[in-house]
Amino acid sequence: MAVVNTYFQKREEHRVTYKSGEEEEVKDRDREEIQVVEAEKEECCEEFRQKLRQALGGQVVLPDDWETTRRSDPGRKVLGVSSGRRKEDKETWWWNEEVQDSIQRKRLAKKKWDMDRTEENRQEYKELQRRVKREVSKAKQKAYDELYTRLDTREGEKDLYRLARQRDRDGKDVQQVRVIKDKDGRVLTSEENVQRRWKEYFEELMNEENEREKRVEGVNSVEQKVDKIRKDEVRKALKRMKSGKAVGPDDIPVEVWKCLGEAAVEFLASLFNRVLESERMPEEWRRSVLVPIFKNKGDVQSCSNYRGIKLMSHTMKLWERVVEARLRKVVEICEQQYGFMPRKSTTDAIFALRILMEKYRDGQRELHCVFVDLEKAYDRVPREELWYCMRKSGVAEKYVRVVQDMYERSRTVVRCAVGQTEEFKVEVGLHQGSALSPFLFAIVMDQLSEEVRQESPWTMMFADDIVICSESREQVEENLERWRFALERRGMKVSRSKTEYMCVNEREGSGTVRLQGEEVKK
């Protein structure tokens, strides 16, 4: 017989199995009753380090080559493999400050009672428990009443449709959709045909360019020496990487590097410096897994209603973040760009636009706005235009070649509900899901719009979404045509179906806006 409770270094209150008033008991358990043992996080990490050292032949530091270091056997044996299922968030939309204050007071009362087990403290804690239950019940009822009242109004129709779409989407996850339609709308049921259709769709999407003019003018390259990658740059990149994200084909999550600490920082700094010097990254980083994500609109069996997100190597994403941090120090993006820029967000752009509209509404003057959307913007960026825009922005040629290497010989597979497709090349556009792509797209938009954009708030951009404002319909129509010409001559395409026009204080007979003779949706 053995008392196993005392084997664990737990806090006293966590070992107590029975409590009544001031009496406490710790139940003794026979060894045969023990089936699950709680593992300490630090012990698990240390076991992982030991297994890793054994796999590396007893070395204290990581080897120089990526192929040896990327071995994931120790991690699989010690840490296991996650199921990858998302945990559902707790329902807290009804939460308010009163509930928060009550719960905080209850927690303080519980601590007070744990420290001093008097009847007075116990009664105080029990009373606060009952009060919290009442507050939560009132908060939920109030939130539901407000929701139902709002849904009965004209303004609440949007909320009603939003709730309906959210409920409808639960049954439209791509992991549940095992059949898909072909180009002609026929439903495909066999796994082989479904996989072939997913590959056909994304291979065409990611390897097709829009028509564009070839550039005849050149641009001077910036040939200059670049500094080596420092350890503090790697640490900052590691800190910016979020844990719990889906891994790429190498199955190495960023948590591995965080667990290894300074040894990982030294290895990554050395690895990144070799990549920077040779301008060649490991071949494995060129592979990715493409996961279709439903756009929450249209036919769930149509491939065109899915957005492909690439799952890439986390180590490559670290490399991208290091390069991105350096590019941001060199490239100055225009003030009209609000997307993926530090200390800027959609909130700022929306606020500026609302203020502009209110001023014109108060002055009883017309304000004409066109909201421009680009078709498959990330997937259609010509890579020759990307290299040109980077050089035009003053990026050192060394970094241009490094980014070119990231896109050279890139290939992917599609992971769908019935398995993975065959591998295919990706030769057009930016990587969806890449850490560097948003800033590269901002560089492209900055250069392509240089001659047509106006100062904010008359022109504002959030990545590929653009708003153009003017005091007259004729002027906004002219500006829209100038934007269309500037973008489409370089391989981007303005969406005729998603671009929309709005007029503030519209007068009768003010007309509509046309784009190449076609009326823009109002």
| pLDDT tens for each residue of 146-173 | 877 877 777 777 777 776 766 665 555 5
Q: Per-residue confidence at 424, pLDDT binned at 50, 70, 90?
A: very high
Task: Provide the mean pLDDT of the chain.
Answer: 84
Q: Is the pLDDT at 83 greater than 70, yes or no?
A: no
More confident call, 36 vs 94? 94
Given a contact cutoff of 8 angstroms between Cβ atoms, the answer to whether 179 and 299 are in contact is no
pLDDT at 52: 61
User: Do 50 and 121 fall into the same domain?
Assistant: no
More confident call, 182 vs 88? 182
User: Do 447 and 305 fall into the same domain?
Assistant: yes
User: Do 66 and 194 fall into the same domain?
Assistant: no
pLDDT at 60: 47
pLDDT in tens, 120-151: 989 999 999 999 999 888 888 888 888 778 77
Region of poorest pLDDT, from 155-169, 213-227, 369-383, 499-513: 155-169
Domain boundary among the residues 113, 137, 169 is at 169
pLDDT at 63: 55
pLDDT at 227: 94
Determine the length of the chain. 522
User: Do 224 and 322 fall into the same domain?
Assistant: yes
> Is 0.75 topped by the overall pTM?
no
The answer to whether residue 403 is domain-embedded is yes
The answer to whether residue 26 is domain-embedded is yes
Given a contact cutoff of 8 angstroms between Cβ atoms, the answer to whether 253 and 234 are in contact is no
Task: Give Cα separations from 225 to 230, 277, 326, 396, 399 (angstroms).
Answer: 15, 11, 13, 8, 10
Q: Is the pLDDT at 39 greater than 50, yes or no?
A: no
The answer to whether residue 90 is domain-embedded is no
Q: Is the pLDDT at 382 greater than 80, yes or no?
A: yes
User: Do 161 and 235 fall into the same domain?
Assistant: no
The answer to whether residue 92 is domain-embedded is no
User: Do 349 and 322 fall into the same domain?
Assistant: yes
Quick one: residue 188, left, alpha or beta (phi over 0 = left, psi -120 to 50 = alpha)? beta
Question: Could you give the angle at the alpha carbon of 437 between the alpha carbons of 435 and 443, nearest 5°?
Answer: 130
pLDDT in tens, 58-80: 554 555 567 666 666 655 665 56
Q: Per-residue confidence at 294, pLDDT binned at 50, 70, 90?
A: confident
The answer to whether residue 500 is domain-embedded is yes
Closest CA to 272 of 431, 438, 66, 435: 66
User: Do 485 and 414 fall into the same domain?
Assistant: yes
Q: Per-residue confidence at 174, pLDDT binned at 50, 70, 90?
A: very low
User: Do 16 and 72 fall into the same domain?
Assistant: no
pLDDT at 36: 46
pLDDT at 1: 41
Residue listed under structure tokens 């927690």: 107
User: Do 327 and 401 fall into the same domain?
Assistant: yes
Closest CA to 406 of 235, 230, 234, 288: 288
Q: Is the pLDDT at 378 greater than 50, yes or no?
A: yes
In the chain, how many domains are there? Answer: 4
Mean pLDDT of 389-414: 95
The answer to whether residue 87 is domain-embedded is no
The answer to whether residue 91 is domain-embedded is no
pLDDT at 505: 86
CA 327 to chain centre: 20
Greatest mean pLDDT among 56-70, 250-264, 319-333: 319-333
pLDDT at 425: 94
Greatest mean pLDDT among 19-33, 133-147, 443-457: 443-457
User: Do 486 and 457 fall into the same domain?
Assistant: yes
More confident call, 466 vs 164? 466
Instruction: Give me 510's structure tokens.
Output: 């003010």
Sign of CA dihedral 488, 490, 491, 492: negative
Q: Where are the alpha helices (DSSP H) in 152-261?
A: 157-169, 191-205, 231-240, 254-260
Name all contacts of 449-457 with Cβ < 8 Å and 24+ positions apart: 449/334, 449/336, 449/483, 449/486, 449/487, 450/334, 451/486, 452/479, 452/482, 452/483, 452/486, 453/334, 453/336, 454/479, 455/335, 455/336, 456/335, 456/336, 456/352, 457/349, 457/352, 457/353, 457/355, 457/356
Coil, helix or strand at residue 447: helix
Instruction: Say which residues have a Cβ less than 8 Å from residue 57's Cβ, sequence separation at least 6.
Output: none
Given a contact cutoff of 8 angstroms between Cβ atoms, the answer to whether 238 and 259 are in contact is no
User: Do 267 and 383 fall into the same domain?
Assistant: yes
User: Do 291 and 151 fall into the same domain?
Assistant: no
Structural domain containing residue 283: 181-519
The answer to whether residue 86 is domain-embedded is no
Task: Give Cα separations from 239 to 60, 242, 258, 321 (angstroms).
Answer: 24, 8, 9, 11
> In this structure, what DSSP letter does residue 261 have?
T
Give the β-pairing of 411-416 and 419-420: antiparallel
> For residue 506, how many other CB atoms are within 10 A of its CB?
14
Mean pLDDT of 219-240: 93
